[in-house]
Amino acid sequence: MALLARDDIDAQLRTLDGWTFEEDAIHKQFTFAGFPQAVAFVSSLVVDCESDDHHPDVAINYRRVTLTWTTHSQGGVTAKDIDGARMAERHYREQGPR
């Protein structure tokens, strides 16, 4: 999987609300009503991440979840990371901040 050029990453991020690029990865913080909802959101990602064999770095801070996508084997952002961000957005829309 080829690394995306910075211009390509920026173009993709313009189509994804709230995602940023920093340190060879894309990031977003999601906010939920409480800790149970935050953990449920992360749990909802597991099946898709496993089937894609591509996983984000996850930080849970009470009701906030930060996802970081990068393709470690390539040393930066690939199409797999953009796909992962889109998948996370889909799950967030289904669950919402509640």
Q: Do the domain assignments include residue 87?
A: yes
Q: Do the domain assignments include residue 72?
A: yes
The CATH number that applies at residue 81 is: 3.30.1360.20
Q: What is the pTM of this model?
A: 0.93
Domain count across the chain: 1
Query: Strand pairing of 20-22 and 25-31?
Result: antiparallel
Q: What is the mean pLDDT of residues 3-17?
A: 97
Is the pLDDT reported for residue 98 higher than 70? no
Q: Do the domain assignments include residue 78?
A: yes
Query: For the segment 47-83, what is each residue's pLDDT rounded down to a tens digit?
Result: 999 999 999 999 999 999 999 999 999 999 999 999 9
Q: Which helix (H) or strand (E) holds 86?
A: helix 79-95
**Which residue range(s) make up the domain with 64?**
6-95
Q: Do the domain assignments include residue 1?
A: no
